[in-house]
């Protein structure tokens, strides 16, 4: 009997990177674009891959997420 190949683990998102992303979204909701950019710049490259992977699973990308936060639109 043949077994299926193991599914690769999804890219990791470090807890600090998740906190930075959350800070960026909150800053955009508050209208503070400079703080949002600073928070996004603090995210490490490996976590970016994980964030983009998870957003893709939801059918979104980072630009869509940030636009929603900036315009306070609910889907």
Find, among 50, 43, 55, the residue nearest to 9 by Cα.
50
Note the pLDDT tens digit of each residue in 15-62.
999 999 999 999 998 999 999 999 999 999 999 999 999 999 988 888
Give this prediction's pTM.
Answer: 0.78
The runs of H, that is alpha helices, within 1-75 are 15-29, 33-41, 45-57, 62-71
Distance of alpha carbon 52 from alpha carbon 3, whole angstroms: 30
């Amino acid at each position: 009997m043949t077994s299926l190949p193991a599914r690769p683990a999804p890219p990791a998102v470090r807890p600090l990177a998740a906190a930075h992303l959350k800070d960026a979204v909150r800053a955009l909701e508050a209208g503070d674009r400079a703080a949002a950019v600073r928070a996004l710049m603090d995210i490490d490259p490996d976590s970016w891959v994980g964030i983009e992977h998870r957003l893709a699973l939801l059918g979104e990308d980072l630009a869509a997420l940030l636009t929603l936060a900036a315009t306070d639109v609910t889907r």
